[in-house]
Structure 1
Amino acid sequence: MKLSRPQSFPQWLALVLALACALPGLALALHYPLSPVGMGLLCLLLAGLAFVAWRELPLLVPALLPVIGWAPWTGWISFEELDLLVLSVCSGAYAALALGGSRLRAPAWQRPLAWSALSRLLLGLFALSLLVAAWRGVQDAGGWRWGWWQSYQEPMNSLRALKAFVLVLLLLPLWRAAADAQPRRLRLLGLAMSLALLGVALSALWERYAFPGLLNFSSDYRTVALFWEAHMGGAPLDGVVALSLPFALVWLLRERRPLRFGLLLGLMLLGAYTVLASFSRGLYLAAPLGLGMGAWLLSRQFKDAAKGAAIPADGGGISSTRRPMRWLLLALLGFAIAAVLLFPVGGYRTLLALSGSAFLLLLLPPLWQRQTRAQRLLALMLALMPVLLLGMLAWMLIQHVSKLAYVLHGLVVIGGAALALRWRHGAQRNAQACLLAAAFLASLACVVLVAGQWGGAQVLDRALPPALLLALGWVLLQLGPGALADQLPSLSWRSKGLAATLCLLVAVTVGVGFGGAYAGDRFSTAQRDLQARLQHWSLGLSLLQTPGDWLLGRGAGRFAADFFYAMPAAERVGHYQALESQNGDPAFLRLSAGQHVLGWGELFRISQRIDAPPAGAPLRMALRLRTERDVNLHLEICDKLLLYNAECVTRNMPIKALSGQWQSLGVELGNAPSLGRELRPVVFSVAVDTRGARVDLAQLSLRAGEGPELLRNGDFGAGMARWFSSSDHHHMPWHMKSLPLHVLFEQGLLGLGLWSAMLLAVLWRCTLGSARQHELAPAVVGGLLAFVVVGLFDSLIDAPRLSFMFYAVLALGLGLRAPPPPPRAGS
Structure 2
Amino acid sequence: MALRPPRATPLAWLLLPPLLALALLYQPFAAPLALGLALAFAAVAWRPLLALVLIPAALPVLDLAPWTGRFFVDEFDLLLAGCVAVAAARVPRPGGAGRAPAPVVLAFVLLALSLAISGLRALWPLAWPDGGDWWSFTSPVNALRILKGAAEAWLVVVLWRRLAGAGAARAQAFGAGMVAGLALTVAWIVVERSAFAGPLDFAAGYRVTGPFSAMHRGGAYVECYLAIGLAFTLAAALQARRLWARVAALLLLAAGAYALALTFSRNGWAAGALALLVTAALALARPGRRGLVVAAAGLLLAAAAALPVLLGSYAQERLGRSAQDLATRQAHWADALDLREPGLAAALFGEGAGGFPDLHYWRSREPRHAGSFHWRHEGGRGFLRLGPGAPLYVEQIVEPGAAAELRIAATLRRESAPAALSVALCRKTMRSSQDCRYARLEAAPGEWAAAAPQTLAVPPGRLPLKLALLTPAEGPVLDVDAVTLQAAGGSELLANGGFDTGLARWFFSTDYEPAWHIDSLPVAVLFEQGWFGAAAWLLLLVVTAAVALAPQRRGLAPVPAAAGAFAALLASGLLNTVIDTPRFLLLALLLPWLAAAAPLDSPRREGPRAPGAGAGP
Under a length normalisation based on structure 2, what TM-score does the superposition of the two structures give? 0.90
Kindly tell me the number of residue pairs found equivalent between the two proteins.
601
Aligned to 2:165: 180
* Contact in 2 for aligned 1:622/1:700 (Cα 8 Å): yes
What are the superposed Cα offsets for residues 153-189 of structure 1, whole Å, 9 maximum, x if unpaired? 1122111111111111112122123233333332111
Aligned to 1:486: none
- 1:591 matched to 2:386: yes
Amino acid at match of 1:790: S
Amino acid at match of 2:265: S
Amino acid at match of 2:178: M
Cα displacement (A) at 1:300: 2.1
- 1:645 matched to 2:433: yes
- 1:70 matched to 2:64: yes
Amino acid at match of 1:244: G
* Contact in 2 for aligned 1:249/1:268 (Cα 8 Å): yes
* Contact in 2 for aligned 1:648/1:673 (Cα 8 Å): yes
The 5 A counterparts of 1:633-712 are 633-651=421-439, 653=440, 655-658=442-445, 660-675=446-461, 677=462, 680-712=463-495
> Which residue among 562, 574, 579 is the counterpart of 1:797?
579
Cα displacement (A) at 1:588: 0.8
Over 3 Å counting, the alpha-carbon distance change for 1:185 and 1:214 in structure 2 is same
Aligned to 2:407: 620
Amino acid at match of 1:681: P
Secondary structure at the counterpart of residue 262 of structure 2:
helix
Cα displacement (A) at 1:140: 6.3
Secondary structure at the counterpart of residue 626 of structure 1:
strand
User: Which of the two has greater helix per residue?
Assistant: 1
Aligned to 2:89: 95
Cα displacement (A) at 1:741: 1.8
Cα displacement (A) at 1:807: 1.9
**5+ residue gaps in structure 2?**
606-617
Aligned to 2:45: 51
Secondary structure at the counterpart of residue 163 of structure 2:
helix
Secondary structure at the counterpart of residue 635 of structure 1:
strand
Over 3 Å counting, the alpha-carbon distance change for 1:539 and 1:799 in structure 2 is same
Secondary structure at the counterpart of residue 466 of structure 2:
strand
Aligned to 1:129: 114
Aligned to 1:193: 178
Aligned to 1:300: 285
* Contact in 2 for aligned 1:631/1:654 (Cα 8 Å): no
* Contact in 1 for aligned 2:153/2:590 (Cα 8 Å): yes
The CA distance in 1 between the partners of 2:85 and 2:33, in whole Å, is: 15
What are the superposed Cα offsets for residues 532-578 of structure 1, whole Å, 9 maximum, x if unpaired? 11111111112232210111111111111112111138522111111
Aligned to 2:554: 772
The CA distance in 1 between the partners of 2:471 and 2:604, in whole Å, is: 69
Over 3 Å counting, the alpha-carbon distance change for 1:509 and 1:56 in structure 2 is closer
What are the superposed Cα offsets for residues 480-500 of structure 1, whole Å, 9 maximum, x if unpaired? xxxxxxxxxxxxxx689x38x
Cα displacement (A) at 1:143: 6.0
- 1:715 matched to 2:512: no
Cα displacement (A) at 1:800: 1.2
> Which residue among 123, 144, 155 is the counterpart of 1:159?
144
* Contact in 2 for aligned 1:243/1:806 (Cα 8 Å): no
Q: Which has the higher contact order (CA 8 A, sep 6+)?
A: 2
Over 3 Å counting, the alpha-carbon distance change for 1:254 and 1:183 in structure 2 is closer
Q: Which moved more, 1:79-88 or 1:800-809?
A: 800-809
The 5 A counterparts of 1:275-286 are 275-286=260-271
Over 3 Å counting, the alpha-carbon distance change for 1:131 and 1:118 in structure 2 is same
The CA distance in 1 between the partners of 2:574 and 2:590, in whole Å, is: 20
Cα displacement (A) at 1:640: 0.5
Cα displacement (A) at 1:232: 1.0
Over 3 Å counting, the alpha-carbon distance change for 1:88 and 1:803 in structure 2 is same
RMSD over aligned Cα atoms? 2.8
Cα displacement (A) at 1:44: 4.3
What's the % identity of the aligned pairs? Answer: 30
Cα displacement (A) at 1:519: 1.3
The CA distance in 2 between the partners of 1:504 and 1:82, in whole Å, is: 30
The CA distance in 2 between the partners of 1:769 and 1:553, in whole Å, is: 37
Q: Which moved more, 1:664-673 or 1:619-628?
A: 664-673
> Which residue among 583, 597, 603 is the counterpart of 2:391?
603
The CA distance in 1 between the partners of 2:485 and 2:317, in whole Å, is: 39
* Contact in 2 for aligned 1:772/1:818 (Cα 8 Å): no
* Contact in 2 for aligned 1:233/1:731 (Cα 8 Å): yes
Cα displacement (A) at 1:758: 1.7
The CA distance in 2 between the partners of 1:822 and 1:203, in whole Å, is: 37
What are the superposed Cα offsets for residues 29-76 of structure 1, whole Å, 9 maximum, x if unpaired? 354343556645554443333233223313541111111111110001
Larger radius of gyration: 1
Secondary structure at the counterpart of residue 161 of structure 1:
helix
Amino acid at match of 2:430: L
Aligned to 1:557: 354
Amino acid at match of 1:624: T
The CA distance in 2 between the partners of 1:802 and 1:278, in whole Å, is: 18
Aligned to 1:317: 291
Aligned to 2:300: 502
> Which residue among 516, 519, 529 is the counterpart of 2:315?
519
* Contact in 2 for aligned 1:607/1:725 (Cα 8 Å): yes
Over 3 Å counting, the alpha-carbon distance change for 1:569 and 1:808 in structure 2 is closer
Aligned to 1:357: none
What are the superposed Cα offsets for residues 134-167 of structure 1, whole Å, 9 maximum, x if unpaired? 1111116866446684201112211111111111
* Contact in 2 for aligned 1:554/1:746 (Cα 8 Å): yes
The CA distance in 2 between the partners of 1:127 and 1:17, in whole Å, is: 25
The CA distance in 1 between the partners of 2:308 and 2:159, in whole Å, is: 45
* Contact in 2 for aligned 1:105/1:181 (Cα 8 Å): no
Over 3 Å counting, the alpha-carbon distance change for 1:119 and 1:207 in structure 2 is same
